[in-house]
Homo-oligomer: A and B are copies of this chain.
Amino acid sequence: MREIIRAKNSGFCFGVDRAVNEAFNIVRPGSKIYTLGPLIHNKDVAKELSLKDIDELNIKDIDTLKENDTVIIRTHGVSMEVYDELKAKKVEIIDLTCPYVINIQKKVKEYHEKGYKIIILGDATHPEVIGINGYCRNTAYITQAGDLNFPMKGRFCVVAQTTEKLENWVRLITNISKTAKEFMAFNTICKATEDRQKSAEEISKEVDAMIVIGGKTSSNTTKLYEICLNNCALTFHIENAEDLGPIREKIKNAVKVGVTAGASTPEWIIKEAMENL
C-alpha cells in the first residue's frame, strides 16, 4: 500500500486566493477585461479565466488599451511607472497586488527617499522584483544568490522577494554585515512562503519520492523543488496530474510519497494529482 502524505502548508496563499476569487467574481458588462501578465503561474486557471473573457495582456502592450477597458493588476504588483501609464490610459484598474508586496513597495519608496541604497534579494527578471524596483526608480541592487557585486558604501535598506529562501536571506545579510557600516534589514519573505518551505523541508526528509506541483515558471514552486531535491533524490516538479505519466515508472517502488504545491496551485489540481498517485 502506498502512503500519500501532503505537506501541511501547500497550495494557494492568502494573496493568491484573494486575487483568484476576486478575478472570477468580476463582472463588467461592455468592458473588456485584461490581466496584466498571467494572473497566476497556472495554465489551468488561465484557461478558465479565458472562458470568462478575461484575457492576458503583456505589460509591453499597455498602449493598445482603450478607455473603458478594465485591467487587473496581479498579486506581484507593478512599478509606479506602469501604474501611471494605466491611469493615463483612463482604464479601470483593479489592483489585486498582495498586501505583503505593497508593504515592500512602501518600505522601498520610504527608504529610497531617505537616501538609503536599496538591495533586493530576488530574481531581477521576476515581475514582483521588477515592480518593487520601480519604487526606487529602478536603482536597486538585485542579487539572487546573496552575493554582493556592487560597491558597499553608504546606507542600505535590504528587502527580499516574498518567495525567497531563508538560507539565501541569511547568506546575503551575513555578506552585507562584513562590509556595510549601516543597514536596515526587512525580512519580507512572507510567512506563507516560510511555512510552505518548512513543511516541504520536513516531509521530503521522510518520504521515498516527492511530487512538487506548480507552474514551471513559478518562482516559489521552483524553490520548493530545490528544497525537496536536497533531501529526496526522487523529487519531481509537475504542473498537473497529466504530467505524472512519465514519472509513474520512476517512483513505482516508492511506498511513501510526499506532495507539496506552490502558492499558485489551485486546490483541485492538487487533489487530482493526489488521487492519481
Q: How far is the CA of A78 from the CA of B28 in the complex (A)?
A: 68
Q: What are the residues of chain B within 8 A of A173 when measuring CB–CB? A: 173-174, 177
CB < 8 Å: which of B180, B182, B183, B187 contacts A180?
Answer: B187
Residue of B nearest to A173 (CB): B177
- Residue from B178, B181, B185 within 8 A of A177 (CB atoms): B185
| B174 x A177 contact (CB < 8 A) | yes
**A186 on the B face (CB < 8 A):** yes
- Report A9-29 residues with CB < 8 Å from chain B CB: none
User: How many copies make up the complex?
Assistant: 2
A169 at the interface (CB under 8 A from B): yes
Which residues of the partner chain B approach A178 to less than 8 Å between Cβ atoms? 166, 170
A184 beta carbon closer than 8 Å to chain B? yes
Give chain A interface residues in 164-206, CB to chain B under 8 Å. Answer: 166, 169-170, 173-174, 177-178, 180-187
- Say yes or no: B187 contacts A182, CB within 8 Å: yes
Nearest 3 interchain pairs by C-beta: A173-B177, A174-B174, A170-B177
